[in-house]
Structure 1
Amino acid sequence: MSTQPLVWFKDFLGVGYRYHDVYMNVFPLFPDKMAAFKLWNKTIDWWPDDKIKLRFVEDGDHYWFILYGGGDYKKDNTCFVKKVPISENYQRFKAGYEKKAMLRFGIYKENTDPKKKDKDGNMKKFELEVLKKAKSVYDISFVQMPDIARDSVEWQCIQQNQ
């Protein structure tokens, strides 16, 4: 990882999961497509797949989503963190991710087009778009808060972002 200090980006809406691909997808959710695209290009696009670390630190009925990685030649060292409630989707991902997941970004925004309707004919209130760019993540861990080492990146991240 770079010698630059870690910068924790937490200004995203939450975390989404998709199960219908060969490998499950996990994606931080953003309200703005262009901002998400620029952030991907500035950070994750440069990360080698085998250096990406995805951590889920469970803390009661919530978990910390912690994503970091990096390349040696990039000066940016942005990482991602968000405390989110444990959900059925999270539990399903945890049970079935098969030691690999696809990392993508998702756009979750309010629908303003009255023509877009759900299967029952009701206007959709929100819509989700998953961006095409993806990275493979192999280093995925699920841990309980009391079990993380006090000198770990995850512990430091949680302490800085409580």
Structure 2
Amino acid sequence: MLSYNTRWFDEFIGLGYSLRQVYPCILLLFNDKKRLKEAWDKIIKLWPDDEIKIRFVEVGVKIKDGDDGMREEEVKTDGVDEGRDYKRDEVHSIGNKEKGKKYAFIMYCRSRILQNTWVFLKLLDISDNYRRLKAEYDGKLYVDLALCITKGESYELEIFKYRKSVSDVAFLYGGVDILYKVEERVDRKSGEGYVKSSDVKVGNEDKQPTKDYNYYNSSSDDDDKDYDTNIVREAMKILSSYL
């Protein structure tokens, strides 16, 4: 059994989407070029593509007892422009959002080179681009990095030639008041799944440290069977402080 430090990274501003390719692409958006390059050179670049995992966890979704974890239908996707160029795609912190509906973005890799697990995490508003990504996901997506330069109410993206291909992707569901003892059930090709948890609220003692920090440290012995579950559970406990 190996022991890894877990380090939590949230110093990026959100996600962008490129949905016109054969496989969709998400962009990690930064507003600091130095931080973007450090995130790539010191962390993401060293991750093997086939060991990277991404989890999208919708929060505030009611799960009925006995429905096998499937959520009730919420809001249909609308306003999707099939011909939209990715450079004009929505930035989550700026563009069209669904009021009160959020999801957690969690990307991580247990690195033998770094001897730790870096977890990129962010709580974002559900949008039409997110829903389209979920509907069109078919076993693989790309991750690019981009610098977001805002100019008043508009913005420009500088796309860097940094790319990872990720096939371990899942879309999960869970209520904001049941973010503990996470269990995952995931179809690896479609990415469909859900978060099922016991009804335990996260108290003040579990809130994330001051947001000025860009990473948080913890360490424990990893049981391979429970590794993914523990990462998602701990990430959701941290992100609950934003709600």
Name the TM tier (shorter chain): 0.7 to 0.9
* Larger gyration radius, structure 1 or structure 2: 2
The reply to whether residue 133 of structure 1 matches residue 211 of structure 2 is no
Give the match for residue 133 of structure 2: 93
| Matched-pair contact (CA < 8 Å) for 1:43–1:77 | no
How well do the aligned residues superpose, as a CA RMSD in angstroms?
A: 2.0
Q: Which moved more, 1:52-61 or 1:65-74?
A: 65-74
2:122 to 82, 88, 97: 82
* Whole-angstrom CA distance in 1 between matches of 2:48 and 2:163: 12
Deviation readout 1:24-47 (Å, 9 max, x if unpaired):
111221002232012111111111
Which consecutive residues of structure 2, in runs of 5 or more, have no partner in the other structure? 61-100, 176-193, 198-225
* Whole-angstrom CA distance in 1 between matches of 2:104 and 2:239: 10
Which consecutive residues of structure 1, in runs of 5 or more, have no partner in the other structure? 113-123
Give the match for residue 159 of structure 1: 237
Give the match for residue 148 of structure 1: 195
CA deviation after TM superposition for structure 1 residue 84, in Å: 0.3
CA deviation after TM superposition for structure 1 residue 17, in Å: 0.9
| Matched-pair contact (CA < 8 Å) for 2:5–2:115 | no
CA deviation after TM superposition for structure 1 residue 22, in Å: 2.6
| Matched-pair contact (CA < 8 Å) for 1:148–1:154 | no
**What amino acid sits opposite 2:150 in the alignment?**
E
CA deviation after TM superposition for structure 1 residue 140, in Å: 0.4
Moved over 6 A (4+): none
Give matches, 1:4-153, under 5 Å: 4-60=4-60, 61-111=101-151, 125-146=154-175, 147-148=194-195, 152=229, 153=231
Aligned length in residues: 150
CA deviation after TM superposition for structure 1 residue 73, in Å: 2.0
* Whole-angstrom CA distance in 2 between matches of 1:21 and 1:53: 21
| Aligned residues with identical type, % of pairs | 34
